[in-house]
Amino acid sequence: MFMPRTSFLIVSVSLFLGGCTLPTPAPKSEVELPAAWKNAGRFPVAAPGKDLSRWWGRFGDPALNRLIATALDENPDIATAKARVRESRARQDAQRAALFPSVDGSASRSARSSNTDLGGTTSSTSYSANLSASWDADLFGRNRSQLEAAAANLGATEENLHSAQAGLAAEIASTYVTLRTNESRLSVLKRNLTTREETAQLANWRLKAGEADTLEANQAQSSLESARAGVPALEQAIAQGRNALSVLLGRAPGGVDPLLSGASRGLPNPPQSLAIGIPADTVRQRPDVRVAGYQLLAAAASTRAADAARFPSLSLSGSLGLNALSTGKIFNPESTSASIIAGLSAPIFDAGRLQANLTASTAAQDQAVENYRAKVLTALSETENALIACRRTAERLATLEKATALAREADELARQRYEAGEIDFSDVLDTQRSLLGLEDSLLNTGADRVTAYIRLYQALGGGWSS
């Protein structure tokens, strides 16, 4: 049995999502998934579900845990996404109601008076009650297809909520890492300032003792002031980082301070191991891919509904009426009238409107197919990039740790030899600049490594399951 390319992909999506099955066979998807990750390295290939659920707890940082937990409860974007889920669920319920008959009722009382030929007045009162019912038999499944589309739209809305939760957790973690990195850089800079102050003081003493000239003393003071100029920039970045976290938590500036007080100012530690699974696991787990899958199912259901609209429809309607001149006789059999009507209607001429609607729905379905394929490819690419970043930043960090340790020894030795008058001050300046640069690079690379793990968790689809 031949099936078009779109049908292949739709069936695959329905299987990945674990529901919304379609009345077609289940062949292999045309979206080719690799059997394993190219850059998995030392990461174990096992079911990653446990590792991905609330992954931030595995970084061993209580402040980070508090920040993310608070944001998931208070962030305005998350609250908006939850409201959209409620809206979508209500629209699905409204669409489901179209499968059932609708019943309306009415009751009335009318009074009439008239003058007689003898100058008197006569009056009459009548009572009536009516029930009417109608039902669309849905011969070709238009209403059922529209309900399937509404159910798929609800699924997409729920996955949008999950995607927002996962993205928020990753953004908070990245912002938090940047904040802690800047705090560590400020601490290193202040420690370096202390060393340069001592060196500048020594240069002044040597100048007064006639052992050095003014150039040397000015160089030492210039180096000290140059380092001091970096303090305001880092303090600004720290304050702005705290404000950014406050916004992500749904609080005014300063609202994040109680959650950060008393916490360690070091970087969070990435977990020693992380099960990454296989590419098919990532496709199933990532909320954005699942959103695209539900959107594809909704587009396919809308196409079927548009196709069904071209065929005849059968409607059944009935009414029950009660009419009497007094309330006591309104339920007498003689007061009852009933009718049942069956109507079959079919489009004869609509100037191509229905066909145009079907063509538009088919085009929308094709767009959903390509969007789903693009999301899958993006998921694979982001995961591979994160795996590469985790491995390479670890290698770079190990090299910088060795270089920084040697630079610290060189700086200490240079200051000792300068104090003993064995080397020029320019040599001391070189070692100080080298040490500060390496320490700064070491902190930034450490932050890059933690961020790489955050991006890996996000790429694998973690951070939203309960």
What is the DSSP annotation of 73-112?
HH-HHHHHHHHHHHHHHHHHHHHHGGGS-EEEEEEEEEEE
DSSP E strands, 387-448? none
Counting Cβ atoms within 10 Å, is residue 317 exposed (0-12), middle (13-18) or buried (19+)? middle
> What pLDDT shows up at residue 1?
38
| Bridging pattern class, strands 102-115 and 336-345 | unpaired
Phi/psi of residue 134, nearest 5 degrees? -145, 150
The whole-chain average pLDDT of the chain stands at 85
User: Scanning the structure block, which residue is given the tokens 């240079």?
Assistant: 414
> What pLDDT shows up at residue 29?
44
- Lowest average pLDDT, out of 107-116, 190-199, 328-337, 450-459, goes to 328-337
pLDDT value at 5 more than 70: no
> What pLDDT shows up at residue 98?
86
Counting Cβ atoms within 10 Å, is residue 466 exposed (0-12), middle (13-18) or buried (19+)? exposed
- Give 104 or 407, the one with higher predicted confidence: 407
> What pLDDT shows up at residue 78?
95
> What pLDDT shows up at residue 62?
92
> What pLDDT shows up at residue 237?
96
* CA dihedral for 19, 20, 23, 28, sign (positive or negative): negative
pLDDT digits over 319-361, tens only? Answer: 776 665 555 555 555 556 667 777 778 888 888 888 999 999 9
For residue 134, the cross-strand partners are 102, 317
pLDDT digits over 13-67, tens only? Answer: 666 676 554 433 333 346 788 888 999 888 888 776 666 888 999 998 999 999 9
pLDDT value at 418 more than 60: yes
Give me the torsion for CA of 221, 223, 224, 229, rounded to 10°: 120
> What pLDDT shows up at residue 89?
95
Q: What is the Cα 420 distance to its own chain's centre?
A: 61
> What pLDDT shows up at residue 24?
35
Let me know: does 36 contact 45? Beta carbons within 8 Å. Answer: yes
pTM of the model: 0.84
> What pLDDT shows up at residue 21?
44
Domains of the chain: 5-23+50-107+123-345+372-459 (1.20.1600.10)
- The token pair at 212 is 């050095």
What is the DSSP annotation of 93-161?
HHHHGGGS-EEEEEEEEEEEEEE-TTS-EEEEEEEEEEEEEEEE--TTSHHHHHHHHHHHHHHHHHHHH
Let me know: does 70 contact 171? Beta carbons within 8 Å. Answer: no
Q: Of 281, 465, 453, whose CA–CA distance to 376 is shortest?
A: 281
For residue 132, the cross-strand partners are 104, 319
> What pLDDT shows up at residue 198?
86
- The token pair at 419 is 């104090």
pLDDT value at 148 more than 80: yes
Task: Read off the DSSP letter of residue 333.
Answer: G
pLDDT digits over 177-207, tens only? Answer: 999 999 999 999 999 899 888 888 888 888 8
* Rounded Cα gap, residues 450 and 120, in angstroms: 100
In the chain, the percentage of residues whose pLDDT exceeds 70 is: 85
- The token pair at 136 is 């669309």
pLDDT value at 287 more than 80: yes
Q: Of 130, 128, 131, whose CA–CA distance to 324 is shortest?
A: 128
* Rounded Cα gap, residues 17 and 161, in angstroms: 16
* Rounded Cα gap, residues 127 and 330, in angstroms: 7
Task: Read off the DSSP letter of residue 421.
Answer: T
Let me know: does 173 contact 56? Beta carbons within 8 Å. Answer: yes
